[in-house]
Amino acid sequence: MDPSLPWDVRVKDLIGRLTLDEMVLQMARGGALKNGPAPAIPRLGVKPHAWNTECLRGDVQAPGWATSYPQALGLAASFSPELIARVANATATEVRAKHNYFTSIGNYDDHTGLSCFSPVINIMRHPLWGRNQETYGEDPYLSGILATAFVKGLQGDHPRYVKANAGCKHFDVHGGPENIPVSRFSFDAKVDERDWRMTFLPQFQACVEAGTYSVMCSYNRVNGVPACANEKLLTNILRKEWGFQGYVVSDEAAIEFIMTQHKYTSSFLETAIVSVNSGCNLELSFSLTDNVFMKIMDAVTYGNITLETVKERVYPLFYTRMRLGEFDPPDMNPYNALNLSSVQSQEHRDLALEAAIKSFVLLKNIKNTLPLDFRGIKGKKFGVIGPFANNSKELFGDYEPYPDPKYIVTPRDGIAELPVDISFAAGCEDAKCETYSSDEIKELVQSVDLTIVCLGTGVTVESEGVDRSVLSLRGYQSTLLKDAVISAGGHPVILLLFNAGPVDISWAKESEGVHAILECFFPAQAAGTAITKVLIGAEEANPAGRLPSTWPAGMEQVPPMENYTMQGRTYRYYGSQVPLYPFGYGLSYTTFHYSNLEVNPSLLHPCETLQLSVNVKNTGLRMGDEVVQVYMSWWTASVPVPKWQLVAFQRVTIQSGSSMKVFMKVLPKQRAVWSENWIIEPGEFSLYVGGQQPFQITSVPSNILQANFLVSGTSRLLSTC
């Protein structure tokens, strides 16, 4: 309890005062329901601790309202680490404020604590995986940069105290299936070592380097060994290679599934032994009081787990709690002053709107249909149709914080604020669209000057536990769109999409009757306001989101869910197939031109950092954001590598007619390849700099510049740089 002492001394002092029974209970009570919270130890002033909190993009499932920010995949589309850091920090503010209230009334239930099971940084490796929406997309580098921003934003910048602690999940080789064709609870992800190292691990290493306090081990096996009992993963890689000092918590029920689903062990005792010795600190069980980790006592008695190992596993649990401020005088911690006035504050609601606007991706815009002329639309008749047009529940996605309903704006509500005459028809009541009122849609569209069609997926179609089997929109949604186009008779039709995993909209892309397509993801509470501002091109509402995943052109481009090779997956390994929309794609209401690419030095030593600069000019008539993207390709690698890979990006705002010189760098580790170790090889490389991937059939109007550079010398281990 002495705040003048070093953290290590205090934690060891506390652990030294605990009985084995008490230590076991601290490891066994990670939640949920009857499994939590970790119990109080009154004789030592230790309070209960709720480990089970979700903070993906707002305070999820805690009692009371919370500001709801766009779903993670939409935030990733912003290509803005700065935005994600602010969303994470605002989330932590509300989590801490509500926690302060809950503890004041003695409430330590699920979702009242400060230890977050967020962010989700699994790779979006398959377009039909149900949890794509929770990720930051398909690229390990982008995911790592955004994970770093989230961790630092959530945990805050106080020199002594953590605002709320992050927990990166799901570790590892986790990206489907949920339920098609087999259950995630028993799935064995068989992965080549090079794919594991170059695709499935880098973003987790970035998360560790950012200072996350926690990592969650996943349900699946990795090459035959359950992740939560995988010594190579949890000890050799996570702790020994990367130097992780925090705690590993199991996914909910993942520890018991080692026995009941994977059949890897034959008893709870054996399961406790293998998971604790492999590196797991905390069991998150589903409402079990006599759960697996309660057998740790027997394992110590029998000599299968040492007392020293138990103390090592308990250490980061109490270290985290100390850094959250639990054992210091309350007035030392400024976060204790946060109260419920910060929840759904005007500042946070404004941020939710800004985040939604920055997440939208403009996929199509025939003859500059958008933005609409605000003066020209006055008095016009607008039709807003489709199952997502006025259904607030469909706008949030999974793991949604839920705000006070008065702050939720549907597309219909937002567009109704324009000086136009609004007509609305859903056509079908939900995303499954199993019954459809064709006459209602046709009649409405024939009576209006412009039609806005709102289609998508929603949590009933894609979410945790629910994979999709096809790329197509469910039910009669495609029919609804075609009916609208035919009935419009040439009048503008604008398609708004609310989804995470790619959908097959080939017809809409090619049809001259669909004038514009705006990908909205799951924009949450500010959906309608954000959409309306973008439709009319309000100030700072010029769309600049970029797709964080590849959209296949059809099911023939979709490999089997259970096959974990990266061949044919994501833009890095897509091969010669032409996608519907490529990773990094997105249009703007303005245009950009790139010039004067400078690379320095053009001849590098293996451990040297490459500096580059490029001029970007806004050649259009509107201010806009551009996402400058830098891709690198290897020409002489000795092992298989991606065809090219994102190695730098920066979102910048440029006034109409103005230019900006953008500076970026490529670190040595981004040139490394896996060959039993991370190796930096000499050879020739190319850089491609522009607002998109190089060599794309579906492309944006701006140009791409190329520069080559050489790395001299001999191959060397990355670890020696």
User: What DSSP character marks residue 442?
Assistant: H
3-state secondary structure of 415: helix
3-state secondary structure of 118: coil
Structure tokens at 257: 């599934």
Exposed, middle or buried by CB within 10 Å (0-12, 13-18, 19+), for 603? exposed
Q: Which amino acid is residue 511, in one-letter code?
A: S
User: Cα(65)–Cα(20) distance, rounded to whole angstroms?
Assistant: 40
* 8 A C-beta contact, residue 280 and residue 255: yes
* 8 A C-beta contact, residue 126 and residue 175: yes
Exposed, middle or buried by CB within 10 Å (0-12, 13-18, 19+), for 693? buried
* 8 A C-beta contact, residue 280 and residue 229: yes
Which residue, 275, 345, 255, is CA-closest to 35? 255
User: Cα(614)–Cα(44) distance, rounded to whole angstroms?
Assistant: 60
Segment (H or E) for 205: helix 202-209
* 8 A C-beta contact, residue 627 and residue 651: yes
User: Cα(169)–Cα(121) distance, rounded to whole angstroms?
Assistant: 6
Question: Residue 37, CB half-sphere, CA atoms under 13 Å: how many?
Answer: 23
Structure tokens at 172: 């590892």
* 8 A C-beta contact, residue 525 and residue 352: yes
Active site residues: 251
Secondary-structure breakdown of the chain: helix, strand, coil percentages, each rounded to the nearest 5: 35, 20, 45
